[in-house]
């Protein structure tokens, strides 16, 4: 087996030792010895030794009540420290002769490859400069670490970087070690888990903190790298006003099933974003005013500031005062509705123009080296983040709009909207959209739910256009769903176009996505209101929960193909919005491979995707890591645009149809049709407990009921905690086995070799199966599941084994991830710390279910810490 890099191993070992020192000081040497016995027992058990497994279980079973929380915390903290070391390892200093990581060189290598394939340099530069990639930050309830602890983890990573120099003196090394010891002690003595659910505003502030502490630095650095790579390949530069990657957010705008997100919350989050943006630019501009002390300036700049001895400072001080006025106005607006003074910045041009003027003047006066420093970085930020930091999306369920219109038409004596068929609805909506008079009388008094829908629409109408992204409609299924939102926005006073985006989520809705958009684009007057691309969101989470990943993945692919064809026929640009999660079961996986596996024509210079929960921290929480991930997105979208993957051959499509049908039947046969499945799920996993833990502002359920009532995130999160990983693979075992039995192994191999879509699905399946563990899942069953339900657990573990056999049969390997031994060792190392947490969690669940516990009791806290530790150890869990 491959060895993990010696430097990474050394970092992990030292962080573990420092954590051990901290625990020893608080809990004593005997407790640390007990932790070590548990760890060694887990290690021996993993190697198949009964001499390790028995003492391990015995030690955990006999933990005193007051030891449960410290033991859970010890293993949780170690897994978080291992994550920090592993993340830092990706961006550590490279020695002479060491290659740069793939993420850092991917764009430069792609540009050289594209040039070699005949693409002209000028065309490449033009395409790169006008890429439109938007990463939409979402707050989902799988980010369980507190913000204060995340900041300590970031500081630990910074200390690892500070000591990563071969020429440090002994005193400097000791100082770095002391700093690490102090930070680890701070983390240990900080409660990991929040005591109460975060509010939507707190979630939004968490998102803003990621921008402030990481992306604010990463974005200009990333663009500087992209500009350097482009210049080296073509001799051309990235235009100053190019922002190939921008950011949007659902935090404070996503009200689908979350009663805590109200119109007032959306308004507050929009104002907080403006405050934060003004504050961040103010810091930049104050530094620029301090450093740009030069006297020589262009006539253009002189015309703005007059005969000033320090013209750049004069101009920047004017901008500084406007930023202060903007920040003060945003602060006051959180409590009141003051009139904005003329000094308040309203349009991004007002921020950009003074910066551009300084930049042009410095270059004109031979001081380009100064212009291309922090001033250029500030300019890049202003283009990327603007005055509003992120564009806020609004999301609401289609049924809420229909209910509001039903109440309105009923009140007006027009009939009941809910009872009208699609044709009648469209006629009514199109008529009202074309009508200049208002639909709602002034004295209309709606119900609370309808009043909230209308209030949200009024906030959308009042907000500056640049502060908003799209209005997303969950569970959309017909053109009337889009028209309904347009009418409600019109009634609220919106007089500008806004992207209203249907989200197709279930298998049936995905199959109908193309025809629905075809009918929508054909409606009279609709195109005039479009003004830009037709955006369509593809739901990965709910489609996978509805149909399993085999059928869902193929339905998502075919829906995108259909949408590309429909929009081409109507001569309308298409913007696909991918609602991916962090897990394979929710469409997750490596972004670079995922983008390159999309249908040809679906990534045409535009790409929009969600980044959720804990994956935001893992991908964008540290500036250097963020730069790498931004590079991957940029290179993948450029490549998918200029060199799209091949169209699948007819034989591949036919086989994929069979795989999807088999996978769907197998998945639903278990999840929907097995009479004991729901009860087994609730006993074998922490699903019920997750619902009452303070993991996010949104309820775990949309409504009362079975699996169908669950949100996709806790559905997958619960299975991940027990390591069965069922949603990510169930259905594939039957689909692949059937294909191999039919003698289609050669065709499957051809698809895997030549079709990026299929190869990526199998790679992601292999990764999730490598993380799955039937032995761990069995332990949960033995401790938690009633005897009459255990045969179902045995059956599911047998299906897991079949899935592994089918993938190995397809890949021709003797073991999963045999081609990636380093990844296997990472998983193996983590298992030593995960196994005790799984065993402890099963014990905690059993104790918790035997008695009523307060949310802040040590037992419940230990349970939540075990959830956090397992999530940290497995990474992409939600």
CA distance 716 to 877: 8
Q: What are the phi and psi torsion angles at 704 (to 5°)? A: -75, 150
Question: What tokens appear for 690 in the block?
Answer: 């997750």
Residue 134: strand pairing partners: 246, 608
Instruction: Report helix, strand or coil for 624.
Output: helix
Q: To 10 degrees, what angle do helices 216-234 and 376-385 make?
A: 110
Residue 539: strand pairing partners: 579
Cα–Cα nearest to 39, from 9, 78, 86, 88: 78
Residue 701: strand pairing partners: 710
Cα–Cα nearest to 146, from 213, 189, 195: 195
**177 has catalytic annotation:** no
Cα–Cα nearest to 725, from 716, 735, 713, 734: 716
CA distance 447 to 465: 28
Find out whether 559 and 504 touch, Cβ atoms under 8 Å: yes
Burial (Cβ within 10 Å: 0-12, 13-18, ≥19) of residue 336 = exposed
From the candidates 34, 43, 89, 140, which is the catalytic residue?
A: 140
**771 has catalytic annotation:** no
Residue 538: strand pairing partners: 504, 578
Find out whether 630 and 218 touch, Cβ atoms under 8 Å: yes
For 756, the enclosing helix (H) or strand (E) is helix 756-771
Which sign, positive or negative, has the C-alpha torsion 849, 853, 858, 862? positive
Question: What tokens appear for 520 in the block?
Answer: 């929508």
Instruction: Report helix, strand or coil for 401.
Output: helix
Buried b (16+ CB within 10 A) or exposed e, 63-97: beeebbbbbbbbbbbbbbbbbbbbbbbebbeeeee
CA distance 169 to 16: 23
Q: Give the position of tokens 């897991």.
A: 800
From the candidates 89, 205, 490, 545, which is the catalytic residue?
A: 545
Which sign, positive or negative, has the C-alpha torsion 729, 731, 736, 737? positive
Instruction: Report helix, strand or coil for 119.
Output: coil
Q: Whole-angstrom distance between the N-terminal and C-terminal Cα of the chain?
A: 29
For 21, the enclosing helix (H) or strand (E) is helix 6-27
Catalytic residues: 140, 545
């Amino acid at each position: 087996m491959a060895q993990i890099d010696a430097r990474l191993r050394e970092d992990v070992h030292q962080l573990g030792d420092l954590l051990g020192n901290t625990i020893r000081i608080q809990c004593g040497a005997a407790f640390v010895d007990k932790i070590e016995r548990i760890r060694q027992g887990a290690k021996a058990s993993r190697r198949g030794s009964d001499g390790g497994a028995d003492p391990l279980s015995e030690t955990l079973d006999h933990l005193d009540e007051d030891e449960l929380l410290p033991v859970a915390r010890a293993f949780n903290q170690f897994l978080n420290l291992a994550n920090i070391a592993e993340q830092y390892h990706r961006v550590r200093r490279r020695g002479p002769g060491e290659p740069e990581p793939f993420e850092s060189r991917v764009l430069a290598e792609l540009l050289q490859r594209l040039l070699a394939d005949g693409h002209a340099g000028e065309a490449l530069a033009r395409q790169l400069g006008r890429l439109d990639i938007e990463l939409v930050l979402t707050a989902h309830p799988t980010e369980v670490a507190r913000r204060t602890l995340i900041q300590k983890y970031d500081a630990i990573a910074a200390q690892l970087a500070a000591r990563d120099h071969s020429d440090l003196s002994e005193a400097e090394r000791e100082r770095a070690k002391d700093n690490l010891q102090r930070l680890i002690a701070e983390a240990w003595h900080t409660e990991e888990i929040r005591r109460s659910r975060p509010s939507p505003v707190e979630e939004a502030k968490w998102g803003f903190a990621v921008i402030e502490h990481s992306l604010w630095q990463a974005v200009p650095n990333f663009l500087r790298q992209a500009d350097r790579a482009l210049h080296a390949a073509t001799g051309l530069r990235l235009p100053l006003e190019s922002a190939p990657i921008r950011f949007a957010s659902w935090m404070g705008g996503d009200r689908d099933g979350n009663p805590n997100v109200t119109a007032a919350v959306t308004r507050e989050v929009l104002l907080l974003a403006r405050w934060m943006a003004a504050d961040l630019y103010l810091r930049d501009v104050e530094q620029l005013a301090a450093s740009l002390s030069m006297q020589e300036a262009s006539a253009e700049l002189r015309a703005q500031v007059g005969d000033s001895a320090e013209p750049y400072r004069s101009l920047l001080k004017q901008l500084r005062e406007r930023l202060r006025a903007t920040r003060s106005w945003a602060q006051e607006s959180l409590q009141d509705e003051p009139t904005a003074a003329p000094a308040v910045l309203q349009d991004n041009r007002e921020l950009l123009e003074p910066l551009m003027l300084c930049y042009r003047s410095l270059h004109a006066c031979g001081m380009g080296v100064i212009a291309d420093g922090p001033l250029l970085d500030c300019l890049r930020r202003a283009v990327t983040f603007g005055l509003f930091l992120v564009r806020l999306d609004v999301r609401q369920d289609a049924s809420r709009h229909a209910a509001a219109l039903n109440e309105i038409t009923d009140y007006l004596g027009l009939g009941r909207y809910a009872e009208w068929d699609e044709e009648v609805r469209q006629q009514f909506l199109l008529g009202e959209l074309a009508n200049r008079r208002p639909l709602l009388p002034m004295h209309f008094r709606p119900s609370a739910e309808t009043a909230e829908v209308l209030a949200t629409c009024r906030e959308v109408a009042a907000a500056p256009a640049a502060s908003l992204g799209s209005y997303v409609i969950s569970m959309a299924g017909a053109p009337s769903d889009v028209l309904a939102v347009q009418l409600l926005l019109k009634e609220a006073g919106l007089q500008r176009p806004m992207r209203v985006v249907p989200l197709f989520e279930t298998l049936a809705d995905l199959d109908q996505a193309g025809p629905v958009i075809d009918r929508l684009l054909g409606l009279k007057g609709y195109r005039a209101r479009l003004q830009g691309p037709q955006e369509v969101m593809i739901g990965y989470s709910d489609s996978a929960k509805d149909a399993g990943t085999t059928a869902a993945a193929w339905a998502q692919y075919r829906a995108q193909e259909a949408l590309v064809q429909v929009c081409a026929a109507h001569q309308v640009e298409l913007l696909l919005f991918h609602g991916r999660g962090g897990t394979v079961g929710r469409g997750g996986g490596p972004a670079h491979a995922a983008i390159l596996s999309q249908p040809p024509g679906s990534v045409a210079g535009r790409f929009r995707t969600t980044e959720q929960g804990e994956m935001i921290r893992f991908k964008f929480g540290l500036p250097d890591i963020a730069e790498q991930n931004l590079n991957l997105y940029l290179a993948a979208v450029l490549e998918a645009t200029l060199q799209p993957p091949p169209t699948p051959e007819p034989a591949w499509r036919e086989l994929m149809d069979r795989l999807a049908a088999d996978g769907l039947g197998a998945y639903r046969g278990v999840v929907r049709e097995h009479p004991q499945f729901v009860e087994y799920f609730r006993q074998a996993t922490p699903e019920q407990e997750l619902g009452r833990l303070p993991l996010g502002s949104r309820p775990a359920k949309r409504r009362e009921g079975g699996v169908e009532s669950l949100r996709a995130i806790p559905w997958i999160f619960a299975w991940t905690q027990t390591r069965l990983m069922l949603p990510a693979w169930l259905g594939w075992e039957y689909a692949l086995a059937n294909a191999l039995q039919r003698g289609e192994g050669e065709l499957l191999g051809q698809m895997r070799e030549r079709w990026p879509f299929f190869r990526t699905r199998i790679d992601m399946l292999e990764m999730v199966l490598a993380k799955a563990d039937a032995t761990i899942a069995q332990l949960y069953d033995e401790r938690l599941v009633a005897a009459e339900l255990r045969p179902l657990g045995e059956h599911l573990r047998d299906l897991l084994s079949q899935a592994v056999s089918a993938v190995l049969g397809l890949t021709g390997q003797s073991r999963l991830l045999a081609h990636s031994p380093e990844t296997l060792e990472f998983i193996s190392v983590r298992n030593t710390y995960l196994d005790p947490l799984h065993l402890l969690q099963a014990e905690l669940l059993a104790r918790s279910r035997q008695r009523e516990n307060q949310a802040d009791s040590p037992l419940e806290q230990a349970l939540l810490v075990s959830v956090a530790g397992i999530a940290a150890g497995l990474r992409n869990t939600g």
